[in-house]
């Protein structure tokens, strides 16, 4: 008797496959990146962030504190690596802080 193959697949894989084929896939990636900014850096940074914009691998961050902007500028590479690790792919190529 031939063993039946299971068609079960983890929900994450199903959603990722669907998003990859869907025209809104880029918008979903942009949303993931911007939401991750606050989640990774915490509420103190999130509250000082006035705008986030992600397009073509570049995350533009506008902060209302020059001191915080200066501190985060030293950690840009580390932040980028952590974000890409959480995202599971290299989406963030550069971070620009204003």
Q: Return left, alpha or beta for 82; rule: phi > 0 is left, psi -120 to 50 is alpha, else beta.
A: alpha
The pTM of the full predicted model, rounded to 2 decimals, is 0.73
CB atoms within 10 A of CB 67: 9
Three-class DSSP labels, 48-72: HEEEEEEECCEEEEEECCHHHHHHH
**What is the domain partition of the chain in residue ranges?**
24-97
What are the pLDDT digits (tens) for 75-90?
999 999 999 999 888 9
What are the pLDDT digits (tens) for 36-77?
999 999 999 999 999 999 988 999 999 999 999 999 999 999
């Amino acid at each position: 008797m031939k063993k039946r193959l299971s068609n079960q697949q983890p929900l994450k894989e199903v959603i990722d496959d669907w998003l990859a084929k869907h025209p809104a896939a880029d918008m979903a990636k942009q949303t993931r990146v911007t939401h991750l900014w606050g989640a990774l850096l915490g509420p103190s940074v999130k509250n000082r962030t006035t705008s986030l914009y992600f397009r073509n691998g570049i995350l533009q961050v506008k902060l209302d504190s020059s001191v915080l902007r200066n501190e985060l500028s030293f950690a840009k590479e580390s932040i980028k690596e952590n974000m890409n690790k959480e995202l599971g792919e290299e989406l963030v190529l550069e971070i620009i802080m204003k």
